Amino acid sequence: MVRKLAVGSLVTALLSLLPAWVWAGGGAATELVVVADTRALSGFNFYLATLYNQDMWIFATWAVVITSALGVSLGLLMDLIMSHVGLDLGKSAGHVEH
Amino acid sequence: MDWLYMHMPIAGVDIFWPGLVLIGYSVGVIGGFFGMGGAWMVTPGLNILGFPMAFAIGTDIAHIAGKSMISTMRHSKFGNVDYRLGFIMLIGTMAGIELGAQIVMALERIGRIGPVVRWVYVVFLALIAFMVFFDYYKAVKNRNKSDDPSHTGATGGVNWAPALHKINIPPMMHFRVANITCSIWLPIAVSFITGVLAGFLGIGGGLLRMPALIYFIGAPTHVAVGTDLFEVMISGLYGAFTYSLKGRIELVAVFVMLCGAAIGAQIGTVATKYAQGYGIRVVFGSAVVACMVSIILKQYGITAAATVIILGAITVICIYIMAIMFRGAANELREKKAASTGAKA
Amino acid sequence: MKKILLLGILLAALALCTGCLNKAEESHVYQGDCLAIQDGGKTLVLANSQPKLNPLKGDKAVFDISKAKVGLAPEVGNVIRVAFMVEKGKNVAIKVMNVSKQDLRKK
């Protein structure tokens, strides 16, 4: 575990050394603006992309809300399926996953 | 072959969708099986499949948010989360994620994001592979020594926590669940550093945060696990928000991967019941090395080979874990059947 | 389990609220070759290079980009993609992307 920590610290140290190397080959700093091409889209994709072009704050809120809702509902659904199949996940409940 | 490609509405790229499903599924299987560590293959995988690097990072971090929700919910039931510690660490985690994301955006502005992130990933994965193989080597050595009565088992890590707890920078705080008292700046510093790494690489940061919680902050292992999961969820949610706000997220890909991950996670978790020995570590380490090689190939423009290697490696590791599960489940069923026949007789 | 359900309901409620709040006018997207940049960079004239896809009729379209978020500076001859809203008969750009200069796929 301590080695893992040392490794992590080393990565962070390397990260802090990066700027010189990075800037050496860099071009002029310009913000990249992305416009999603909604012209050939329809349905949910069209809605998402339009929102993306129009209002980033609502888009970001939506992104977080939909992602978490989908994560939770898929987890619940899988739990349900697994209990139907007969595999008891409770046995390995102490297990971490992320 | 057009049907194999899915249009990503925001990034405007066409992506080989079976690859996307496979990545999501594999991260689920590997994450479920090994307990953590799966996100490291998503950013490189997405980049190799054709996502611009910033989109790959944003999409990876958002899918972590979705995936970690359910595991945190499951764990909070066990009371293993020190919420006080968790909330204090939030400050560092969120600031760190934001800094990581800002570095990514700055790199994108000067047009250096691709190579820089790829090389940082190569170093990061090389270190993970080294750790995994070293652990395996140590385990094998210990097993060979186990006949020797003087052998004391695996060597424990050096615990820095008592020394760090003596640092008296106010405000000092007591964390009840973890049962430690330390300067508030210690957990903030730890979470900040892991946050930067998570925000920059698009990972959960647990690989770094968990040992830090145990050896630097001095939390008991089960509290470290629970609190780390809580931080992963928050870092995922904040990461998803900030990357969406910066416009570097592809939600459609997040959804596709989440569906794959939900199924994969169950299979991986069930497989842990039947897994034995350290051999699986070698498979994991090899997958990390394969991922590293494919990033290097992508960096030099050999994208086709990179795609084959990364998708091939994760397929192999998935099949291996699934084989463990099916063999184990079949054995269990056979034993149950034998037991019931025995009882009847 | 209760916690999860509660969270699900909360998220659904939040989603509904966000959905209701989102009554903003719908934006459109137009893409074409840049013909001219006028009024000291405040107005953009784009050719209708893809008449089947573009939502505006005519050979060219004029956009007010004074309030827009502009990425890599547009130049005459570049392919430009604009997200815009129609306000009082005027095409007001929200975002301007330089497709020619900004190929994200190389990143």
Chain B residues whose CB is inside 8 A of the A26 CB are: 110-112
Compute CA distances C50 → B10, B246, B319, C32, C47, whole Å: 19, 29, 47, 7, 9
Interface contacts (A, B; CB < 8 Å):
214
Label residue C2 by pLDDT band (50, 70, 90): low
Residue-averaged pLDDT of chain C: 81
pLDDT at B285: 86
Distances (CA, A) of B255 to A45, B37, B65, B240, B328: 12, 20, 12, 13, 31
For residue A21, the model assigns a pLDDT of: 61
Angle of CA points B66, B69, B70, to nearest 5°: 110
pLDDT score of A75: 83
What pLDDT sits at residue B147? 52
Secondary structure of residue B25 in the 3-state scheme: helix
Distance from CA of C105 to the nearest CA of B (A): 5
Which tokens hold the place of B277?
């020995």
**Domains present along chain C, CATH in parentheses:** 28-99 (2.40.50.140)
pLDDT-based confidence at C4, cuts 50/70/90? low
Residue-range domain boundaries for chain A: 38-88
Residues in chain A with pLDDT < 70?
1-5, 7, 11, 14-29, 86-98
Residues in chain B, pLDDT under 50:
148-156
Task: Write out B160-196 in H/E/C secondary structure.
Answer: CHHHHHCCCCCCEEEECCCCEEEECHHHHHHHHHHHH
ipTM of the complex: 0.82
Average pLDDT score over residue span C90-98: 91
Q: Which residues of B149-186 are buried (b: 16+ CB within 10 A; e: fewer)?
A: eeeeeeeeeeebbeebbeeeeeeebebebbebebbebb
Q: B94 and B234 in contact (C-beta within 8 Å)?
A: yes
- Measured between alpha carbons, how far is B320 from B314 in angstroms, rounded to an integer? 10
- A30: nearest CA in chain C? C72
The closest of C78, C44, C48, C77 to C60, measured between CA atoms, is C48
Average pLDDT of the residues in C74-103: 89
B positions 54-83 inside 8 Å of A (CB): 62-71, 73-75, 78
Which candidate from B12, B53, B77 shows the least CB-CB separation from C107? B53
Strands B180-183 and C60-64: unpaired
- Compute the half-sphere exposure of residue C84: CA atoms within 13 Å on the CB side of its CA: 28
Closest-CA residue in chain C for A41? C53
For residues A29-44, one letter each, b for 16 or more C-beta atoms within 10 angstroms of the residue's C-beta and e for the rest, the string is: ebebbbbbbbbebeee
> Quick one: average pLDDT of C28-42?
89
Chain B residues near residue C4 by CB distance under 8 angstroms: 70, 73
Provide, as residue numbers in chain A, all residues whose Cβ is less than 8 Å from the Cβ of C50: 39
**Residue B86 distance to chain C (closest CA, Å):** 18
Given a contact cutoff of 8 angstroms between Cβ atoms, the answer to whether B32 and B265 are in contact is: yes
> B315 to chain C nearest CA, in Å?
26
Partner residue opposite C105 with nearest CB, options B50, B108, B111: B50
Query: Could you count the other beta carbons within 10 Å of the beta carbon of residue A13?
Result: 9
What's residue A19's pLDDT?
59
Is any Cβ of chain C less than 8 angstroms from the Cβ of A60?
A: no
How close is the nearest chain B Cα to the Cα of A11, in Å?
A: 7
Structure tokens at C46: 């784009």
Helix and strand counts by DSSP (H, E) for chain B: 12, 4
- Torsion, CA B52, CA B58, CA B64, CA B67, rounded to 10: -80
Closest Cβ–Cβ partner in B194, B216, B263 for A78: B263
Q: Does A53 touch chain C (CB under 8 A)?
A: yes
Q: Mutation test of the interface with chain B: which of C27, C53, C104, choosing the one with the most B Cβ atoms within 10 A?
A: C104
Sort out which chain A residues have CB atoms less than 8 A from B245's CB and list them.
56-57, 59-60
